[in-house]
Amino acid sequence: VYMALNFIGHWDWMLSDYNFRSPLVPGFLSFEILVTGEQYEIYWTSLVLYTSALWQIQHLCERFSDKYRSILCIVVFALLPVTRFWGQMAMTDVAVTGMLFFLLHLMLNKNEKFRYYSLFIGVTAAAVFLTKYTFIYLFGIGFWYIIRGEKIQNIKQFFIGWFLISLPWYLHQYFVYARNALLIHQTEFVVNSATGTVGSHTWVDFLDDITHELHIILILVSCLGIYNLFIHRKKDLELICVIIGPLIILNGLILDWGEPRYNLPILAFIILFCSISLKKDVGGKLVDYNRRKITDYFPYICSFLLIANGLIHIYSMPEESEYANERIEQFNHWTDFSIEVLTGLEDDDVLLAGW
């Protein structure tokens, strides 16, 4: 929010060191601040970003399963504690999850008849990056195009689309703040984590954060969905790995600092894998039970586990609601202050101020 206030000139005093946050979401927030005049309360923008993210997750889940299971998936995703807590705030993690799903859907539905489709993919990938700097690795999609032997025209269009969105931001960072945009706080931390130890976060903590949101049995069931894609839709699985694989490596193996909200895209993809129909594709010829294959029961088992995971988290909602109300009261107390003009200071007076 402080970056949004800085965008519209309310917090011009903010130092450049505080501008390490990605600009896209604060840019959206600044419009609501301009309209409502509220500096400490964001409502509509967060709601729109949250709803849009859920829609994109539902849309992609429906592609791999069916309408009813896709609706179940977004309900489960919305009930995750990390989604409930961070989804209501003006943060980037839920928004970037929806944009990541939108990017994947674009790549899965690539239409060669549309002349500038790869340009649109490049623009979208850069928009994801400017939503959260972690996803700078999406620049590698262009090199993945080269490895796959894509048409030169498509490769050029992707890079043009990327720089069309990201180059103005890069120039702004360079000329306004006099710094190399490639050496922002996030990229420096990745390099330091890869070459040394700058924190105590390990892959064990990463797995603990994942299993706290989704039961381990549900995660194992998602592996069946991955297997199904590997057997029948290898190209789709390849695309998913290009999009989400580097994030798993970053959060699980490289970064020495992590929070549960960083894993929201990974959690969404696990739920996506759970939603994939396993009825006829997995396991081959298994033992019949009442003239039905055991694999015929996989969708019911998967649906039951998804529902159970959602119900477990529902029980924690009253406690979280009480905690949230306490935080709101604390924040209101903190922001309940008056501003007065300070007068009567002499040239040799010393003013001590703190945060």
Give the pLDDT confidence of 36-76 residue by residue, as tens digits: 777 667 778 888 888 899 999 999 988 888 788 888 888 88
Residue that is written with structure tokens 């129909």 in the block: 277
d(CA 83, CA 94): 7
**For residue 292, what are the β-bridge partners?**
289
The model carries a pTM of 0.79
* The two three-digit tokens of residue 60, written as one number: 């992609």
State mean pLDDT over 211-235: 86
d(CA 71, CA 350): 62
* Residue 271 exposure: Cα atoms within 13 Å on the Cβ side: 33
* Residue of 66, 121, 83, 82 lying closest to 99 (CA atoms): 121
pLDDT tens figures, 231-284:
888 888 999 999 999 999 988 888 777 788 889 999 999 988 888 754 444 444
Strand 292-293 versus strand 288-289 pairing type: antiparallel
Q: State the pLDDT at residue 244.
A: 93
Handedness of CA 333, 339, 340, 343 (dihedral sign): positive
* Residue of 292, 302, 286, 304 lying closest to 64 (CA atoms): 302
Residue environment code for 41-53, b if the CB has 16+ CB neighbours within 10 A, otherwise e: ebeebbeebbeeb
* Residue of 314, 315, 260, 340 lying closest to 76 (CA atoms): 314
Q: 35: buried, middle or exposed (CB in 10 Å: 19+, 13-18, 0-12)?
A: exposed
* Residue of 239, 260, 294 lying closest to 63 (CA atoms): 239
CA 32 from centre of chain: 22
d(CA 64, CA 233): 10
Question: Does residue 95 or residue 182 have the better pLDDT?
Answer: 95
**pLDDT band of 179, cuts 50, 70, 90:** low
Give me the percent of the chain exceeding a pLDDT of 70.
70
**pLDDT band of 213, cuts 50, 70, 90:** confident
**pLDDT band of 104, cuts 50, 70, 90:** very high
pLDDT tens figures, 136-163:
889 999 999 888 888 898 899 999 999 9
Q: Position 100: which residue type?
A: L
